[in-house]
Amino acid sequence: MADDLSPDGAPFHGRWWTPNDPDHVVGGRLELSGGAWGLTLYGWLGPWGGARADNQIPACVHGHVGTTPVTLLDTVSGGQKWTNDGPPYEARLWANTVLAGVHADDATLFKSASVRLLHLNEWANRSPWSYPSGDPEGPLAHSVTFTDSDDLIANLPGGRGTLWRSWGQSGGGLSRVTLDSDERVQFDFDQPIDLETVERDYVRPLRSLIELAAAEPSATLEMRVTPAGADEFTSGAAVLSAVARDAPDPKYSFHMLFRLQDVEFEAVLPAWWRLHSEVGIVSDLLARLRDRGHVGAHILSAASAIEAYHRRRYGKKASPEHKQRVGRIVAAAPAGDREWLKKKLVHCHEPSFAERVDEVVAKAGPLFAEAVGDARKWRSWVRNARDSVAHRGPKMIDVDKEWRTTIRVTRTIEWLMILVLLRDLGIDDEVVASGVREEGGLKAASEMLKLVKPEWFPE
């Protein structure tokens, strides 16, 4: 039933109600607007205490579009229209999640999920199509052969992930036949989990891995989940994507920084899961840099990515010798100042931000150092820019006035973090160097930086 609804078919007209009052049904229209799902109700769901009362917005809405059950989760108000003497005659809700094919709530558990991501086909690079030429002396004939790829399986914390290819055909009449095939990852969980956990612990790390390989944003184009307790004949439910209809074109496969052919799926997936469990926030910050945003917010996110990475990968406790040194210093201070001094010295063993940047740059290797020219001048600018956001002073860098430099340095920080994550994941340096050369983004970032900071690039 979930196949009856696709984002391409929106808007959808249906009947809607709340789970705790299924007898109160109103009509409404579910549609995509501005990259989000919105439901316009021609009436009000729930009690109404007047226009100025604290009326409760339903957080979960059930409905039917035709015969397909639909669930809206984590809904928020988008405004109402009402008269003076009654509840709204029209109400707008925005939904964080839309499930087609099941009536569920936040507590519903699922035993498996299958996802299709932007750039996943290109990363896997396993075309199933071949076009036999036939007998050159015989009659003209056209044919297409589909050869399925082997399923690849990786064990993950709490379950397993399987890379597989879907197959679909539509048409078949006298004029048109359409064949579709896409790479997908199926997650089977050891124990049923809720939808938020599916997204956070499985879809999010997979999307971050594909974004790392592509050096571009990915997106969930399709996702299906199977409720706990469903039998083998149940098709499950579709989590309707709010971005698939307007998704950008995928990258060319040869522009990926690394591909499936460069790694072992059963090894790289659990390796990335382990790394992501430690530095997932860094991937989140990199994703933020790829969104449209303000210059100051981006440079702060970029600097935070460096520090977050270093604290998680290079974090170290104070040595016994350091603790003894601090103890001697505190003991030598006047008695009334010791408690204050002790608090001030709690974190004195930690490296400065500049030292953190230097270690991360060293981790990235020669590809990055060459891209920024004088790495020490680059590091000083990054440090000063980061400090100026939190400790604005008249002699500090103004990231707004120097916006051209800020934008270009931010882009190089993104590449810095890409390179260190690829090394942490164990991708061969030659593979990375080839991928960076073919992708071209780091070279472009370097050339743009050179335009505003030529003194960083001595001849």
Whether residue 443 is found in the same domain as residue 381: yes
What is the full per-residue pLDDT of the chain (459 aa) written as tens digits? 444 688 888 899 999 999 988 999 999 999 988 889 999 999 888 777 766 656 678 889 999 999 999 999 999 988 888 877 778 889 899 999 999 999 999 899 999 999 999 999 999 999 888 877 666 666 655 777 888 889 999 999 999 999 999 988 887 777 888 888 999 999 999 999 999 999 999 999 999 999 999 999 999 999 999 999 887 777 789 999 888 878 888 989 999 999 999 999 999 999 999 999 999 999 999 999 988 888 889 999 999 999 999 988 887 666 677 677 767 877 777 888 777 877 776 665 567 888 889 999 999 999 999 999 999 999 999 998 888 877 766 677 888 888 999 999 999 999 999 999 999 999 999 999 999 999 999 999 999 999 999 999 987
CA nearest 241: which of 222, 226, 224?
222
Q: What is the DSSP letter of 202?
A: I
Residue at a domain's end among 208, 240, 260 = 260
Whether residue 8 is found in the same domain as residue 156: no
Beta bridge partners of 91: 41, 80
| pTM of the model as a whole | 0.88
Tell me which amino acid residue 28 is.
G
Give the CA angle between residues 164, 169, 171 to the nearest 5°. Answer: 170
Whether residue 231 is found in the same domain as residue 251: yes
Whether residue 239 is found in the same domain as residue 284: no
CA distance 123 to 208: 13
Whether residue 16 is found in the same domain as residue 139: no
Residue at a domain's end among 234, 260, 286 = 260
Whether residue 386 is found in the same domain as residue 342: yes
Residue 310, classified by CB atoms within 10 Å of its CB into exposed (0-12), middle (13-18) or buried (19+), is buried
Whether residue 414 is found in the same domain as residue 303: yes
Residue at a domain's end among 260, 285, 311 = 260
CA distance 162 to 77: 38
State whether residue 318 is helix, strand or coil: coil
Whether residue 350 is found in the same domain as residue 383: yes
Whether residue 73 is found in the same domain as residue 118: no
The number of helices, as runs of H, and strands, as runs of E, in the chain is: 13, 16
pLDDT, tens digit (0-9, with 9 covering 90-100), for 201-254: 999 999 999 999 999 999 999 999 999 988 777 778 999 988 887 888 898 999
CA nearest 441: which of 412, 420, 404?
412
| Residues spanned by the domain of 221 | 109-260
CA distance 34 to 74: 18
What phi and psi, each to the nearest 5 degrees, are found at residue 160?
-145, 155
Whether residue 236 is found in the same domain as residue 276: no
Whether residue 320 is found in the same domain as residue 346: yes
pLDDT, tens digit (0-9, with 9 covering 90-100), for 376-411: 999 999 998 888 877 766 677 888 888 999 999 999
pLDDT confidence of residue 212 = 97
- Omega within 30 of 0 (cis) for the link into 128: no
Domain count, the chain: 3
pLDDT confidence of residue 69 = 94
Whether residue 94 is found in the same domain as residue 114: no
CA nearest 9: which of 180, 179, 245?
245
Here the tokens at position 354 are: 């500049």
Nearest-10 crossing angle of helices 403-425, 441-452: 150
| List of long-range contacts for 424-430, beta carbons under 8 Å, 24+ apart | 424/275, 424/279, 424/313, 425/212, 425/268, 425/271, 425/272, 425/275, 426/268, 426/271, 427/257, 427/258, 427/262, 427/263, 428/262, 429/365
Contacts of 159 (CB under 8 A, 6+ apart): 187, 188, 189, 190, 202
pLDDT confidence of residue 117 = 96
How many other C-beta atoms lie within 10 A of the C-beta of residue 268? 19
pLDDT confidence of residue 220 = 94
